[in-house]
Amino acid sequence: MTSKHTPTPWDVHEFGSFDTFEIHPAQDENGEIVIADLGDDTEGPATTREANAECIVRACNSHDELVEACKALCDELHNGRKYDVKKDFSLLLADSAARKAIAKATQ
């Protein structure tokens, strides 16, 4: 059985006195729902933990849009067209990269 993740968007809350960074749903104004805690027991300096939390939030918040953009690109590239491998090699590479990204993001 597959569970669904907490709906996005998410954001990062910093607790400066503890060098702790928590990821919360953006609509959770009270900070009661913690998706992830990158606290001082997490490896690395505070600046790295903050950068990691921000990277996670950016990736999760943009995930659905990026998958849809890749799917739209692939659909457009395969809209009844025939390609010449020599002339259209870069388009075929882009299609391959987009399909790999879709597969990885939707596993």
pLDDT in tens, the chain (107 residues): 467 899 999 999 988 667 889 999 999 888 789 999 988 776 778 888 899 999 999 999 999 999 999 999 999 988 888 888 899 999 999 999 999 999 999 98
- Residue 77: CA count within 13 A, CB half-sphere: 20
pLDDT at 16: 67
Phi first, then psi: give them for residue 25, nearest 5 degrees.
-65, 140
Q: How far is CA 74 from CA 29, 39, 97, in A?
A: 38, 40, 10
Q: What does the alpha-carbon distance between residue 83 and residue 85 come to, in Å, rounded to a whole number?
A: 6
pLDDT at 1: 47
